[in-house]
Structure 1
Amino acid sequence: MGEPTEENGQLPGVEIGNVSQAFQATCHAAASAFLSEYTGENKRCAEVVAELIKHHGSKVPFDTLDLQGNQPVLKGNQINDEIVPALLAVLKQHNVTSHLNLSYNTVTDKGAACIAEFLRQNTRMEGISLFLNEITAEGAGALYGALKAGSSAVEHIDLGYNRIGGDGGLRLAQMLQRTPSVTSVNVENTYLDMNGLQQVLIALQTNRTTEDINLGRPVLSSQGVGSLPHHLGKMLKSNVVLKELRLPWWSLCCSDMFTICQGLLVNQTLVHLDLVGNKIAPDGAEYLATYLSLNGALKALNLESNRIQDGGTLALARALTTGRSGLEWLNIKFNSIQPEGLKAMARAIRASCALRYVYVWGNEFDHDTCQDYTYLLSGAVPRVSVEGGLDISTYIVDGVCSVAHVECKEFKPLFKRKRFRV
């Protein structure tokens, strides 16, 4: 065998066959130890978890241990606080994973406190997902406290869709100011309020480790985002490590985009900006276009479900054909774009040296526009040759050209980062 790589998870200097056999034996031992350790009443769940640990032995060594509660085998028997201590005791004794996925379960603050103590003592655990559990600010505070203690090796933490609230946001900000290891944080739809978000953005100004953060779906006041765009712009000017910033459903409008783009013009590290579901109209898209034409750092821009219309699309198309823009992935689905704007984007795709993926479904196509995109897909010299380069396909019925939707994958980061399968 050749040299083991980080991609396949092999241990240095050990052949994959030997690793697999030894790892499988370790997982079987861990499953038996778990059944012995667990003394609670939820026997059915315990048996399923033990089988999942055994099955983990057939995967690439030290890959994510998937115990997410939306699996058919755990339907109606999600992991709860009663299961967690026994599971953690076994994971502490048996080195079977470096990433633990407990998404879609019913873990509460009590279970989160046990996990926090486990993370303080375990230097092998690199990622933990508690997406869509029943954790509040108290449990989030315990987890964040464990991460900022300094002994933890956790790089990725996902608390999305837990009700951690504004107090949880304040504790997240404290962690971001002190933790030396965390590179990826997801707190989407966790009821973060304006004050919590403001403190998180202030903490990110001086943070030097976090490369990816999802702050989507916050709880905003009736007056909108207030001073948050100002803090966003200030953070983008001073932060030198952040690569992915996700701000879906923030209700950002055109004036907010002007403020944010002032920070983006200075930033040289951000490669992925997610602005799904905001209120960005043509003027806001023009501010983004100016930024793209002057700064080539951004590689992916998600503007799905905004209001950029033809005016914004024309501005973006002009920016993408300049030599400065380095954008490779653009999503403008569901933006009320008419044929004029779609044709301009088709011309931009043909002319751009960098652009490889453009998603345009959910806008207004006429016959001529469909023909323009047919040429991109199957012309004499197809411009879109990569798989999934467009999220549409074209077809002709009775001489009329129409489009159909094609499922495409999300943007893949240009830097290595563990992603939980949730």
Structure 2
Amino acid sequence: MGRPAPPPPRGAKKPPPPPEQPQDPYEFRTGEPRLLQAPGGTAPPAGRVVPIAMVTPLSGSRATSMQSREEQTTTLAPTSTQGSEGVLEPVGILQEQYQSLCLKKSKRVNSYILHILQEADEKIQNGEDRVTLNIPGNNRLIPVEKVTGEDFWLLCRVLRKNLNFQGLDMRYNSISDVGAYYASKLLQKKLNLTYLNLMFNEIGREGGELIAKALYKNKTLKYLRMTGNKIENEGGMFFAAMLQINSSLEKLDLGDCDLGMQSVIAFATVLTQNQTVMGININRPVLYGEQEESTVHLSNMLKENYHLAELHVCKHGITNYGMKYLCDALFLNSSLRYLDVSWLSVVSNNIRGKGLVDLSQAMQENLVLSNIYIWGNKFDEATCVAYSDLIQTGRLQPDNTDVKPFVVDGRLYLAEISNGLKKHYYWTPTYGEISNDLANAGFALVPVGQQP
């Protein structure tokens, strides 16, 4: 072991400290609630993703202070660039916040969500102030990673302070009741969200209850789609109770949710007083009994509700008995424009098609009803003649129904046609916006935010 170096002579100057290693200007540090800038205030190169290996953790008192700063800051300060006219423009706000949040929570980045947020950032930079995030899990062109409840939690953390988006389409993912909890928290924020699509996301009764209760005080959401989530009768009762309080929701889709007789009757009862809802879908409930109590209550509702424009009652098992009540209500109703009674059983008392003939006669008297869809019922010759007359006289436009008359050996028949109203019901449009309203998904006749 060598001898220690002698101390410097008294009065000598201390040697200068060694030069610091240059810091990577694009490095993310754990706990910092901001994005680091390159020298001179310029932004990191667009699209640069910092690998996990480049993240430098902080330690000691500095890490503690940075963590406390982050807890007080819910949004990250965006990196900006100086434009040609001196205007500061945000660069990569959503995607950078999402990446930073994943690093903070030690969660894996969902590449599908990151890609959608990058596209949203580009739209915002191009001047769009109302953006809809389409994150469907059933993309037909490219394989995508379905969003889980944990992924949706991180996404909601990013969106909850952003006022640039007005729609969120999460159809065919797997957010479950966990994601429904965070969706309810998102609805409780004062955002500009007007459209929320959660169809087929494995949400059950508990998740349905959370979302319904979140809408008690929500004043912005206009259109909610819960299609295919098995909230059952109990969950349907929570949504019916919500419609007694909510005064902003205009369209509600609860098709294929396994609603029960009690909840269907509850919706019919509530809609006699609710004057805001313009469209409701309660297709394919799980009904019991042979007296068609739900159909009778829906008919009574139509006699008193003069704001409802669309009613979807597919697969309700309505017979001629229930159809008679519906037709009587249509003689008095002056607001309904869209009636979907597809896939019904109208055979009873050996009178084939009488209910459909009564419906055609009601349409002759009700001049407001413009769209009617009847495919899947039992058509006798009288039914075929009645609807052929409606089409030929111009009372029923060919684009506003799902049947078309044709003649074989001197007898009139009805064939099914693709009317397009459910063209994008389960799939989002692949390229651009929908040019034809009739090709939209279900509720396209009365735009959101416009009273009939």
Q: TM (normalized to structure 1)?
A: 0.72
Larger radius of gyration: 2
Aligned equivalent of 1:297:
368
> 1:335 & 1:328 partners in 2: Cα distance?
10
Q: Are residue 147 (structure 1) and residue 215 (structure 2) matched?
A: yes
- Report the Cα distance in structure 1 between the residues aligned to 2:223 and 2:369, rounded to whole angstroms: 23
Please tell me whether residue 245 in structure 1 is matched to residue 311 in structure 2.
Answer: yes
In structure 2, C-alpha distance between the alignment counterparts of 1:244 and 1:44, rounded to whole Å: 41
Confirm or deny: 8 A CA contact 2:216 2:242 kept in the other structure. Answer: yes
Cα deviation for residue 247 of structure 1 reads 1.0
CA contact (8 A) 2:280 2:310 kept: yes
- What is residue 186 of structure 1 aligned with on the other side? 253
User: Structure 1's 321 and 131: CA in aligned 2 closer, same or farther, altered over 3 A?
Assistant: same
Q: Provide closer, same or farther for how the CA distance between residues 310 and 213 of structure 1 changes in structure 2, counting only shifts above 3 A.
A: same
Tell me the secondary structure at the aligned position of residue 157 of structure 1.
strand
Question: Which residue matches 2:321?
Answer: 255
Task: Give, in angstroms, the shift of residue 264 of structure 1.
Answer: 1.2
CA positional deviation for 1:116 = 0.7
Structure 1 residues 228 and 73: CA distance shift in structure 2, 3 A: same
How far did residue 43 of structure 1 move? 2.2
Mean CA deviation greater in 94-103 or 313-322: 313-322
Name structure 1 gaps, 5 residues minimum. 1-17, 346-358, 363-386, 389-407
- CA shift, 1:258, in A, is 0.6
For the 8 Å contact 2:405–2:412, the answer to whether it is kept is no
Matched, 1:415 2:446: yes
Asked if 2 retains the 8 angstrom alpha-carbon contact of 1:305 and 1:332, the reply is: no
CA contact (8 A) 1:193 1:218 kept: yes
Determine if contact 1:225/1:252 at 8 Å carries over to the other structure. no
Structure 1 residues 69 and 251, CA, compared in 2 at 3 Å: closer, same or farther?
same
Note the aligned Cα RMSD (angstroms): 3.1
Alignment-derived partner of residue 424 in structure 2: none
- Which amino acid is 1:415 matched to? V
Aligned residues of 1:123 and 1:152 also touching (Cα < 8 A): no
**C-alpha distance in 2, partners of 1:361/1:315?**
17
More helix by share: 1
Q: Deviation at 1:412?
A: 7.6
> Separation in 2 of the partners of 1:272 and 1:133?
27
The Cα shift of 1:226 comes to 2.4
Query: What is the CA-CA distance between 1:77 and the residue it aligns to?
Result: 2.4
Counterpart of 1:164, as a letter, is: I
Residue 36 (structure 1) aligns with: 100
How does 1:277-288 map onto structure 2 within 5 Å? Answer: 277-280=343-346, 281-288=352-359
Change (3 A) 1:329 1:336: closer
Task: Find 1:218's aligned residue among 281, 285, 288.
Answer: 285
How big is each residue's C-alpha offset from its partner over 1:181-216, in whole Å with a ceiling of 9 and x where there is no partner? Answer: 100111110010111111111111111111111111
Q: What is the CA distance between 1:157 and its match in structure 2?
A: 0.5
Written as runs of structure 1 = structure 2, the 5 A alignment for 1:5-404 is 25=90, 28-39=92-103, 43=108, 45=110, 47-59=111-123, 61-71=129-139, 75=143, 77-149=145-217, 151-221=218-288, 223-224=289-290, 226-280=292-346, 281-319=352-390, 325=395, 329-333=399-403, 342=412, 360-361=416-417
Q: Distance in 2 between matches of 1:211 and 1:33?
A: 37
Percent of aligned pairs with the same amino acid: 21
| 2:112–2:144 contact (8 Å) kept in structure 1 | no
**Unmatched tracts of structure 2, length 5 or more:** 1-82, 347-351, 421-437
What is the CA–CA distance in structure 2 between the aligned matches of 1:165 and 1:229, rounded to whole Å? 18
Q: Answer yes or no: is the 8 Å Cα contact 1:159–1:187 preserved in 2.
A: yes
Alignment deviations for residues 120-175 of structure 1 (CA, whole Å, 9 cap, x no partner)? 113311111100001111111111111122x4311111100001000011111101
TM-score (norm 2): 0.67
In 2, the alpha carbon distance for the partners of 1:336 and 1:322 equals: 15
2:133–2:167 contact (8 Å) kept in structure 1:
yes
Q: Distance in 1 between matches of 2:94 and 2:409?
A: 60
Q: What displacement does 1:334 show?
A: 9.4
- Partners in 2 of 1:284 and 1:73 — Cα distance? 43
Contact 1:305 1:333 in 2 (8 A): no
Aligned residue pairs total 336
Distance across 1 between alignment mates of 2:315 and 2:275: 26
Task: Give the deviation of 1:52 after TM superposition.
Answer: 0.9
Deviations 1:293-334 (A, max 9, x none): 1111111101111112321121233455669x4656443549
